Structure 1
Amino acid sequence: MPASEQWIALDSDLKGNIEQKLRDEEHQFDKPLRYDADECTVFPDICLLDVQQDFALEVFGM
């Protein structure tokens, strides 16, 4: 799986662009990984950690 310069797993080029933008803007975020989770388990693409409440970021598109 491709990874960013900070070793964050990237599923697509679009998610890589978003990860770069978040880093450029100095946001704190987490990228949940699937590991051995069930295929039906839903994970957000990115969880923003520097906002007042939990905020999951989901990327749609091709």
Structure 2
Amino acid sequence: MKIFVDRVKCQNHGQCAISAPNNFELDAEGVLQYRETFDGDDIGDVEDAVDSCPLQAIQLTS
């Protein structure tokens, strides 16, 4: 599976970075950076990040 973030919807709240810090982070300018692919061990955290996004800007794709 892969992570997709809709940059139009995303407002860099950072909830995903709190839920899945191995996969999401806010850079020095406060802009979200993320890994498109992830290790299967991180699925729980990534799903939590999807659920925690207040704007529903994160999707998992195959």
TM-score normalised by length of structure 2: 0.28
Name the TM-score, length of structure 1 as normaliser. Answer: 0.28
User: Which of the pair is proportionally richer in helix?
Assistant: 2
Select the structure with the greater relative contact order (CA < 8 A; seq sep ≥ 6).
2
Question: Which protein shows a greater Rg?
Answer: 1
Higher relative strand content: 2
